[in-house]
Chain A
Amino acid sequence: MTTVETDLLVVGAGPVGLYGAYYAGVRGLRTAVVDSLAQVGGQVSAMYPEKQLLDVAGFPTVSGRALVQGLVEQAAAYAPTYLLGQEAQTLDRIPGAVGGADRLVVRTSAGTEVVTGAVVITGGIGTFTPRPLPAGEAHLGRGLEYFVPSVASYAGQDVVVVGGGDSAVDWALMLSPVARSVTLVHRREQFRAHPGSLEALRRLPVEVVTNAQVVTTAGEVGLEQVGVRVAEETTERTLPCQRLVAALGFTANLGPMREWGLTLHDNRHLVVDQAMRTNLPGVYGAGDIVDYDGKVRLIAVGFGEVATAVNNAAVHLDPSAQLFPGHSTDGPLVTAPTPDRQPV
């Protein structure tokens, strides 16, 4: 088991959580960010990376992907610890000594134990779970994957990607230069992916099979081939395939957070006050997951809420600290300590 000691834990690495990590850095807090997805950016990266957002202050238009990348760079100046691909599962409290603050312990699905002074929950619509490909479940982890962990491991392989959205098309584009073959199988005629990505796809040797479904997988140990049923074809096609990537979207659910003792509204939103405090001392919320009278669920609002949450958490951690963080123009320019970027 890994233990991470930190001042502030951000639960949810969507845009609001990433901006919270930046603000926690401004406050001089050691910060960790946990997310159930293997990538940062939450709903924006998972569902609409190519959508142009028109309502982010200061950006007349910005793609979801570019916004997330910018947020990661902004937070990188303070080197937050990212705990990706693991779900925050339990929350426990270690009572502080007399006059001292409690410590909070969050355990994740990967067995990480985060010991922190405060928690800011920016969990949006909850834990994302990839929608399963039932026909391939027998080969899960032996050829079937729901994420592409590293492109290099696909070198020389016959890959079948299933899905019609941005993720499916993006993965087909990424894998085509390294794989032996890439086939994209989609249940419908029309793709939902960005037209620019589809144009790029046409220039690559990716075989596109529409109105089709992967119906069987075969292989003794690892995956060897898949059966594809195409509408209006009488016989099933058999394709050699060692790696099957299913990008069928996600379902989201508040998940284990329901058991943390938080006051919920409509069984899915955290009730917070004007300082973004939940009912649990030291636990704050911001973004789509919170609710209060007059709440508007927009990214612009979430950015403001998380600045409020983090600055109030900073005072919770150090009651002698000022609530107001100062202006970003007050100090010397802080730049990233390393050129590393988190993958977006």
Chain B
Amino acid sequence: MPYVIASACIDVMDKSCIEECPVDCIYEGERKLYVNPKECIDCGACEPVCPVEAITQDRRVPDDDTDFVEDNRRFFVEVLPGRDSPLGAPGGSHKTGAIGVDTPMVAER
């Protein structure tokens, strides 16, 4: 059900979406932002403010970007490089600050 940030965000990271998100569920990697699917409430506030139109609902992601649905989830459920445990649902990106690393899929692009 959540919104998903796809390839257009890589190396842009405008962060307008972070300012709009009412539940603070958009987390900052090194070169891309990620929506936490466990925390997103599907309100859609982020979508219109993205200057590169990187954000869509998970069921409307363009065909060539569908990998990012799973990759957004992986950012939170898998152990990211240099970390000991998965991020999980920390309850807000203001609490964690920038995470500073990307998923392997994003890092390779």
| Chain A positions near chain B (C-beta within 8 angstroms) | 43, 47-48, 125, 128, 131, 188, 190, 192, 249-254, 266-268, 288, 297
Given contacts A125-B23, A251-B22, contact A47 B45 (CB under 8 A): yes
B28 CB, min distance to chain A CBs, angstroms? 16
Q: Kindly identify which residue among A48, A128, A253 contacts B91, using a CB–CB cutoff of 8 Å.
A: A253
Question: Which residues of the partner chain A approach B90 to less than 8 Å between Cβ atoms?
Answer: 267
B39 at the A interface (CB under 8 A): yes
Q: Number of contacting residues on B, CB 8 A? A: 20
Instruction: Tell me the B65-86 residues at the A interface (CB within 8 Å).
Output: none
Are B22 and A249 in contact, CB atoms less than 8 angstroms apart?
Answer: yes
Dominant SS among interface residues on chain B: loop
**In the assembled complex, how far is the CB of residue A295 from the closest CB belonging to chain B, in whole angstroms?**
11
Q: Which residue of chain A lies nearest to B94 when distances are taken between CB atoms in the complex?
A: A251
Q: Are A268 and B91 in contact (CB under 8 A)?
A: yes
The residue on A at minimum CB distance from B16 is A188
Q: Is B106 an interface residue (CB 8 A)?
A: no
Chain B 46-81: CB-based contact to A (< 8 A → 1; otherwise 0): 001100000000000000000000000000000000
Of the listed residues A128, A190, A267, A288, the one surrounded by the most CB atoms of chain B closer than 10 A to its CB is A267
Residues of B within 8 A of A (CB): 1, 19-24, 38-39, 41-43, 45, 48-49, 88-92
Residue pair B41, A125 in contact (C-beta under 8 Å): yes
Residues on A with C-beta less than 8 A from B43 are 43, 47-48
Check if A190 sits within 8 Å of B39, measured CB to CB.
Answer: no
Complexed CA–CA distance, A251 and B45 (Å): 12
B39 and A251 contacting across the interface, CB-CB below 8 Å? no
Residue of A nearest to B21 (CB): A251
Q: Which of B24, B41, B91 is in CB contact (< 8 Å) with A267?
A: B91
Tell me the smallest distance from the CB of A315 to a CB of chain B, in Å.
Answer: 32
A128 CA to B41 CA, complexed, in Å: 14
In the complex, what distance in Å separates the CA atom of A296 from the CA atom of B1? 10
A342 to chain B, nearest CB (A): 23
Q: Which of the residues B21, B23, B48 comes within 8 Å of A190, measured between beta carbons?
A: B48
- CB-based nearest B residue for A192: B48
Answer whether A250 and B22 are a contact pair too, CB < 8 Å, given A188-B49, A288-B41: yes
**A254, chain B: closest CB distance, angstroms:** 8
CA distance A125 to B19 in the complex (A): 18
In the complex, residue of chain B having the shortest beta-carbon distance to the beta carbon of A129: B22
Asked whether, in the complex, the Cβ of A249 is within 8 Å of the Cβ of B89, the reply is no
- Residues of chain A contacted by B91 (CB below 8 angstroms): 253-254, 267-268
| Residues in B whose Cβ lies below 8 Å from that of A254 | 91
The answer to whether B49 touches A266, judged by C-beta atoms less than 8 angstroms apart, is no
Q: Judge whether A252 and B22 touch: CB under 8 Å.
A: yes
Q: List 13 A-B contacts (CB under 8 A).
A: A47-B43, A125-B23, A192-B45, A249-B45, A251-B24, A251-B92, A253-B23, A253-B24, A253-B92, A266-B39, A266-B89, A267-B89, A288-B41
Residues of chain B within 8 A of A249, CB atoms compared: 20, 22, 45
Among B19, B91, B92, which residue has the most Cβ atoms of chain A within 10 A? B91
- A268 and B39: CB pair below 8 A? yes
Instruction: Tell me the complex Cα distance, A250–B43, Å.
Output: 12
Please give, as numbers and ranges, the residues of chain B lying within 8 Å of A267 by CB-CB distance: 89-91
* Distance, CA A19 to CA B81, complexed state (A): 47
CB neighbours (8 Å) of A48 from chain B are 43
Q: Which residue of B lies closest to A126 (CB)?
A: B23
- B residues less than 8 Å from A252 (CB atoms): 22-23
Chain A residues within an 8 Å CB radius of B39: 266, 268
